[in-house]
Amino acid sequence: MRTAIELKEIRRETRLALNQDGLDEIMVGLSLGIMAIFFLDFRLSIALVAGCAIQILVKPACRRRITYPRVGYAQLHEARGKGKARTVLLLAVALVMIGIGLFFVSQLRWLLPPYLGIILAGLAIAGVHGSTHIFDYSIAGLFLISGLLGLWLISLGSDPGVATAVQGWGLAVVLIPIGIAKLIRFLQRYPEPVEQK
């Protein structure tokens, strides 16, 4: 019988192994790139829905097609359903926080970039909880720095919505290539298994 400590270590190692595929970075980059459209025109809230759909629908489908055939898939009994529920909960909290922030920040629009940076950093830290890799936490730092860069753009005269959109696109430009590099390394390290007849 496995102890709770052993199961926790197995979960941590599994999470680290799955994070090698680069899909997290690619999908977050795509989501932010699409969601950035919303900050140009707040009436385009469909961009938020599309960005969330990438995380909720596209990333799991990619994992089933790319990652699981190469490294396997196991669902621990205690964790059944918690992963998807946690993702949905984190995205819902982020959207609520963005909504509340937009309501209160409507008079202080210049706070949009740091607000978005703080929310993204919080989600990143929650997502890598228990990781021992500095890279996982450096992504949270990248999100915080992007908020400061958004403030800098506003100080140069950019509209806060435009600065926040540029922040999202800038993060996408950084995250997607990182994810692609990780994915290429993952595919080389774990070639697709040959089907046995």
Report residue 110's pLDDT band, with 50, 70 and 90 as the boundaries: confident
3-class SS of residue 43 = coil
Q: Which domain holds residue 155?
A: 9-189
Q: Of 127, 135, 69, whose CA–CA distance to 94 is shortest?
A: 127
3-state DSSP percent of the chain in helix, strand and coil, to 5: 80, 0, 20
Asked, for residue 3, whether it belongs to a domain, the answer is: no
Distances (CA, A) of 55 to 62, 68, 161, 189: 10, 17, 23, 25
Asked, for residue 25, whether it belongs to a domain, the answer is: yes
Asked, for residue 15, whether it belongs to a domain, the answer is: yes
Residues contacting residue 172 through CB under 8 Å, at least 6 positions apart: 29, 30, 32, 33, 36
Asked, for residue 101, whether it belongs to a domain, the answer is: yes
- Residue 169: pLDDT over 90: yes
Asked, for residue 197, whether it belongs to a domain, the answer is: no
Asked, for residue 165, whether it belongs to a domain, the answer is: yes
CB 21 within 8 A of CB 67: yes
pLDDT digits (tens, 9 = 90+) for 15-52: 666 678 889 899 999 999 999 999 888 788 899 889 88
Asked, for residue 130, whether it belongs to a domain, the answer is: yes
pLDDT digits (tens, 9 = 90+) for 150-160: 989 999 998 98
Give the torsion sign (CA, 41, 42, 45, 47).
Answer: positive
Q: Kindly report the average pLDDT of the chain as a whole number.
A: 81
**Which of the pair, 144 or 20, is modelled with greater confidence?**
144
Report residue 142's pLDDT band, with 50, 70 and 90 as the boundaries: very high
Q: How far apart are CA 33 and CA 176, in angstroms?
A: 10
Asked, for residue 194, whether it belongs to a domain, the answer is: no
The number of folded domains in the chain is: 1
